[in-house]
Structure 1
């Protein structure tokens, strides 16, 4: 069964290719890494062309991988299929990321493609429950519980996958700008807080389209923000380059663990 990876930026598309041969869909305007695999060129505005190219290549399964920003559509480039879908997509874009990505998945499924998640292809990239680097202190677990409670409360609003708490106070909540922007804000506004970042899927999130991710860069940015620990959702967050991530934790003195 032929497979395609619709590639965003970062290392994840290459890691998913390690699960088996696949075509790479390279979207115009997206800075994806060059990889040794057959490539299908595509544009957001020409979904009808993409559907036809995927079917011509015998693609039956799709996986979305890597960071993708919300696209800016050029109406002059749209094909008829995309034009017909725009009211539906535009309505979803007015909601949170999960609602938009669910709509995208539905559109591809209606074309006969099976949509897979990163965890379907590489479950080994997720962590099981327990310490990963160091053991969290009681204060860290209390802060993590506080941040986790806020994420659970915000879940129905489809807001974000991360929050930071320090000394019992929530000091950062991830929104559309993403985790890096949240960490920068905390580092500038409350340097040296010693807080804990919690990164986990939103309650009920469709993990096929957007699985939370951490990697060495996350650890370095958490350290720069003055944090002391990171809790991730067990089985629901990808660790990219685990060895380098653990090395970064050791070097920065960041405690990393996974919780249900």
Structure 2
């Protein structure tokens, strides 16, 4: 397949979740040449028959050689990826050269790690793109997207949740928080959103002191100063299901700053389960009028 003339061939470094598949499908739709870079034996069933480079964390020289030989000068990182258990006896010469910078970064937060990895790819002459640069419709729209609307108490929880998530993000801890009735039920950390929501499902009821009050909101937004080309927070139908199991009233995300993996499907799931989904501008104070968008 020849690449569309205005689209340079794209390497998709693929992790868990739906995002890598959505990007591959967009490349197919637009006629863009692409390859999936799969690390450490990771091979989801949807990758069968698709162009793939199998890579090892300890051998970056081989990966970069394959990318350059294939004419791939643009790369995007898509999907969750666990920090690897490195095998020092397998380090190639390039990893040994990178180790003094890379290994300390891997002991820091995700943002520091990803900035370091981004710099490594750029030093190899590659352009790093955000997932939203490949598929612009991924970014969350502004306003209430669902049949379910918001109460005055929901808006108050969103404001507090955004403030808490922003504070955690400033320390490179996470990109989300859950707040109900003004109480922080959980803050996202390295374990991720799904684990945080399971924790709220198991423990949250004891802290909702008004049993007829606000049920709570999952709030997600980028870290302050984050490089938006890598690791923007994301939600999808599975997030909505997990929020419902946690007993929450809905999900609030930063408009234009969070990826929605299938907006139509995500809104449909929220409507099915009776949750709201709202995109809020980070510089806008949530409106305290029930049912109105900020």
Q: Normalising by the residue count of structure 1, what TM-score does the alignment of the two structures yield?
A: 0.95
Q: 1:36 offset after TM fit, Å?
A: 4.5
The aligned length equals 260
Structure 2 unaligned blocks of 5 or more: 1-7, 209-214, 282-294
Listed one character per residue, the Cα deviations across residues 68-102 of structure 1 (whole Å, up to 9, x for unaligned) are 11111111221110122122111111211011000
Once structures 1 and 2 are overlaid, which stretch shifts more, 94-103 or 27-36? Answer: 27-36
Q: Is residue 74 of structure 2 the alignment partner of residue 53 of structure 1?
A: no
Match in the other structure for 1:222: 243
Match in the other structure for 1:72: 85
Q: 1:30 offset after TM fit, Å?
A: 2.6
Alignment of 1:143-162 (within 5 A): 143-162=157-176
Q: Is the 8 A contact 2:10 2:72 kept in 1?
A: yes
Q: Is residue 95 of structure 2 the alignment partner of residue 82 of structure 1?
A: yes
**Rg larger for:** 2
Match in the other structure for 1:100: 113
Match in the other structure for 1:120: 133
Structure 1 unaligned blocks of 5 or more: none
Q: 1:60 offset after TM fit, Å?
A: 0.8
3-state secondary structure, aligned to 2:37 = strand
Q: Normalising by the residue count of structure 2, what TM-score does the alignment of the two structures yield?
A: 0.85
Specify which of 204, 218, 227 is matched with residue 190 of structure 1: 204
Match in the other structure for 2:18: 11
3-state secondary structure, aligned to 1:210 = coil
Q: Is residue 243 of structure 2 the alignment partner of residue 213 of structure 1?
A: no
Listed one character per residue, the Cα deviations across residues 103-132 of structure 1 (whole Å, up to 9, x for unaligned) are 000000001000001011111111221111
Specify which of 218, 231, 234 is matched with residue 252 of structure 2: 231
RMSD (Å), alpha carbons: 1.4
